Amino acid sequence: MITTVTPFAPNATGCLSAVQGQQIAVASYINPLSDPAAWDRLIDYDVSKMPILVANVLNGPDSTVDSSWQGVIQRASSAGKTVLGYVRTGYLGVSDQIFQTRLGSGNLADWTAQIEEDVDRWYKLYGDSIGGIFFDEGWPECGVNNEYVDLYKYINAYTKRAHPGAYTVLNPGSPMASCFEDTMDTLLTFEQSYDSYINSYTPNDWTPNDPRKLWHTVYNVSESSVSEVVKLAKERGAGFLHLTDDRLPNPYDTLPADSYIQCMMDGVDGGSLSNADAAAWELDGAAGAVTDLTVVASDYSWAKLSWAAASNVQGYHVYADGRLVVSVPSSMTEVTIGSLASGTSYTIYVSAVGGGGRLGSSSNQVTVATKQLPGGKTVTNYKSSPQENSTVIEADVLVPYSSVRLYIWDSIECDFDEDPGWGVNFNVDDYVCTHYMVDGSTLYRYDGVLPKGSTASPWSWEAIDTVNLNIWGYTYTWTLPLGASTVDTTKFVVQAQGYNPMINVFEPDPSDYDCEGSSMCTTPDLLKWCDHAVSYLFRDDDLNYHSTEVIEDSLYSTQSGDCWGDLTQGCGVFIQGQNCSISGNDMWNDYQNIRTIGGCKKCGSYQRKDGCRVTIDYVYQCDNHQDLP
């Protein structure tokens, strides 16, 4: 590759003087809630030098508006920035990782459907504040008969037709063949560390006509090395540059210091974007009619369709209830459409796209009836099977999510002074305390420290081991290197979020427990009295304890169980509810669970599945019916 080298001279600060035309583009995956000041800076920097920001809510747009992201996206757009929405393309499912869509498919048509769905969702949720799309995980090979590059061109054209003015970026993070030059407005052809950029950089084997075609991202760059990298990027023909001093695993969730950014800004001259129009449909003859449209399969949120190929076709449009839901190239005659509502019927048809974009006759119509979610739940059939040194946890996840995490919890609420943890809420003001998390195939242990004067735990986890994660159909199966000998793994949370309503599924259900009671529960000897009372229950399976009793043919509520105290004050353990009966063994077990699962130190209760409640509470004038041993 032949490059033209522009002379550089350090200014008084040690930063380079301006480079004509070069601009800064930022993969700004910074949570607006955790660092609003970073977004204030990104928005305020000179738009001619930093015109592009990338928004990434949850590896894409998610399914509902995120108000914090909406705020910064709108402000950035109003300031003249081009905000690109992040969309995964999964290397089209053909890389060594064999990535699958959220619906578990590696089919090219299904990847096309998911990509286009995410593109449209960015604009649906955030409107004209979105200035284009950042297509991540781009596959850099042309493919047999240009199969892959032509698919990216098709997706690019779809994006620009559906959303006029959209600026598009394709990111393989590695060199690309020259066949890709006209796929999208900009190609991100380097995404590695400073060390790799200096010592093992591999260029494309072609030179674009316009340097704005290329974007280089380099992480782990110290501030003292910014000038060096800016110079190299210019020499290597990159019209866009993103530098950060952050590191893997996520080098894009923080923003370098202002002095760092200013050094970059001083080294580039700025410019404008080069935004191409959508490619025109070929001027060919009319398309034939689509026939034999069939529903191959359907489920809670998706349907797989197939049809017979039509003649003279440039693409196929698939419609659900009259709305375009996906457009696929002419080589594809089957596709899976997602994001359908459960328990709902849809009328589907397909039209072929002919010369000049004119649609042929519609296919036959078919009806898709999605399955109803059981009890409206998206996560079901969850259980834990602990062994001494390992645990298998399973859960059925019935609809697609962008993220499914597993937490191991040990108590309701955290002791932040002695053993801080990460809270997962089961009610607005109630949470369980977790110390282990599985994200993907990595096991993490919480290592955050609550800052002095703060009530918000930092999101801070240490990777400690790997986990075997198997996904088969609906079923997620985690095999953890934690077992009964070290950790109680019977208490867990499955957390699913992104592209469907977020859900936290708890086992056991912590909302069945509370640690409320009399204001006298702080009595010094109460715990000792409670333990003594439960120890003297009739320990068998007979239903000896009842919430009501008949006195002279009348039914009265009673507190049946046991108590112990000093004859004036004490602790009672008893059953409550309408017509409730319980054995001593069951009451004893429930008492232990109130302590271990509910985390109740003194008073508390457990709402049983039979509608009855076992309660531990302060009582006055306890009638001790057992003698001390």
Residues 447, 552 share a domain: no
Q: Can you give the residue range of the structural domain that contains 336?
A: 291-369
Strands 560-565 and 569-576: antiparallel
* pTM greater than the 0.75 cutoff: yes
Domain assignment of residue 220, yes or no: yes
Domain assignment of residue 12, yes or no: no
Report pLDDT for 457: 83
Residues 446, 329 share a domain: no
Around Cβ 491, how many Cβ atoms within 10 Å?
20
Residues 562, 452 share a domain: no
Of 308, 338, 369, the residue that ends a domain is 369
Residues 559, 543 share a domain: yes
- Residue 321 sits in a domain of what CATH number? 2.60.40.10
Report pLDDT for 12: 39
SS3 assignment, position 622: coil
Residues 325, 399 share a domain: no
Of 472, 507, 542, the residue that ends a domain is 507
Domain assignment of residue 501, yes or no: yes
Residues 397, 364 share a domain: no
216-227 burial, b at 16+ Cβ within 10 Å, e below that, comes to: bbbbbbebebbb
Contacts of 89 (CB under 8 A, 6+ apart): 111, 115, 135, 136, 137, 138, 139, 152, 155, 170
Residues 453, 568 share a domain: no
Low-confidence ranges of the chain (pLDDT < 70): 1-20, 549-557, 623-629
Domain assignment of residue 275, yes or no: no
Residue 527 to residue 515: CA distance in whole angstroms: 13
Residues 444, 407 share a domain: yes
Domain assignment of residue 15, yes or no: no
Of 369, 401, 430, the residue that ends a domain is 369
Residues 524, 498 share a domain: no
Domain assignment of residue 279, yes or no: no
Count of domains in the chain? Answer: 4
Residues 207, 166 share a domain: yes
Domain assignment of residue 276, yes or no: no
Residues 521, 455 share a domain: no
- Residue 181 sits in a domain of what CATH number? 3.20.20.80
Residues 202, 57 share a domain: yes
Backbone angles phi, psi at 388, to 5 degrees: -65, -45
Report pLDDT for 11: 44
Angle at 621 between CA 615 and CA 623, to 5 degrees: 75
Domain assignment of residue 530, yes or no: yes
